[in-house]
Structure 1
Amino acid sequence: MSQLVLLQKRIHDEIPLSRALGIELQSWDGRTLVLSAPLEPNRNHQGTGFGGSVYAAAVTAAWGLTELALSDLGLKGHVVVQSGTIDYLEPVASDFFVVCRLPGGEIPERFRKSLARHGKARLDLTAEVFCGTPSPVPAGEPVAVFQGRFVVRDVRSGR
């Protein structure tokens, strides 16, 4: 099974809300994670995306990217969100997707060094939410932008 399929199963098994929200991992290229969610189970009383659902999808994308980056380094650890904020720029009026990228397109050297020296590290990530068909290179502007800090601790070899 691919790394993405394994993480999808883990997310649905360990984060039951993700299944209820319909979160599906779409792609991972070693730098960018894309996940999608349907509007219907995530709508509010206005018929647009419920803020909590949009936030949960964005946090899941950033958490998932951190997990995948660790795996790419041959490591496992406990990943938790330390802090996060989201700006809702436009209503989520259709099925939506989240794009989360490694800063600068690669695992930061400071993050790698902290993992190696201390067995823990922090990673600041941005996850952008878009409406429409999932793509790692969205055509339009984001409808919401999440900024979060993720902490990795108890790092060990994953092989």
Structure 2
Amino acid sequence: MTQLALFQKRINEDIPLSRALGIQLHSWDGHALVLSAPLEPNRNHQGTGFGGSVYSAAVTAAWSLTELALADLGLRGAVVVQSGNIDYLEPVNSDFYVVCRLPGEEIPERFRKSLARHGKGRLDLTAEVFCGEPTVLPKTDPVAVFQGRFVVQDVRSRVDL
């Protein structure tokens, strides 16, 4: 089973809301994560994406990116969202997907050093929401943009598990 398939299983088990939202992980290349969600279980009374569902998918993408980036470093820790906000730019009128990228396409050096020195760190991330078929290189503008800060604590080597 691939790293992404194992992680999909983990979020489905550990975050029941991800199952209810229909979140599916599509790709992780070490720099960007793409996940999708269907409109139907996430729609509001107007037939467009419910704001809470869109926010939850974006938070899940950023949280997942943090977890996967840690795993790529051979680490594991307690990852939580410290703060987050979202701007809804257009209605979500179809199935949607989220693209979250590491800042500058790589794990920030300051974050790495903090993990190594203190066993904890903070990572500021942006997750963009798009309508349509999932792709790491969208051809349209985002319909929503989430910005959040994620805190990692109790960092340890995955070998120690």
- Quickly name the TM-score band, shorter chain normalised: over 0.9
Aligned mates of 2:56, 2:64 — CA distance in 1: 12
Q: How does 1:41-80 map to 2 (within 5 A)?
A: 41-80=41-80
Deviation per CA, 1:3-27, whole angstroms, max 9, x where unpaired? 1111101101010000000000000
Q: How does 1:12-91 map to 2 (within 5 A)?
A: 12-91=12-91
SS of the residue corresponding to residue 135 of structure 1 reads: coil
Deviation per CA, 1:20-41, whole angstroms, max 9, x where unpaired? 0000000000000000000000
Aligned mates of 1:71, 1:157 — CA distance in 2: 9
> What is residue 110 of structure 1 aligned with on the other side?
110
RMSD (Å), alpha carbons: 0.4
Provide structure 1 residue ranges, at least 5 long, that are not aligned to the other structure. none
1:2 CA drift (Å) = 1.2
Calculate the TM-score normalised by the size of structure 1. 0.99
> What is residue 153 of structure 2 aligned with on the other side?
153
SS of the residue corresponding to residue 156 of structure 2 reads: strand
Letter in 2 for 1:116: A
Aligned mates of 1:9, 1:63 — CA distance in 2: 15
Provide structure 2 residue ranges, at least 5 long, that are not aligned to the other structure. none
> What is residue 129 of structure 2 aligned with on the other side?
129
Identity fraction in percent: 81
Letter in 1 for 2:23: I
SS of the residue corresponding to residue 45 of structure 2 reads: coil
Count matched residues. Answer: 159
Aligned mates of 1:86, 1:6 — CA distance in 2: 28
Calculate the TM-score normalised by the size of structure 2. 0.98
SS of the residue corresponding to residue 145 of structure 2 reads: strand
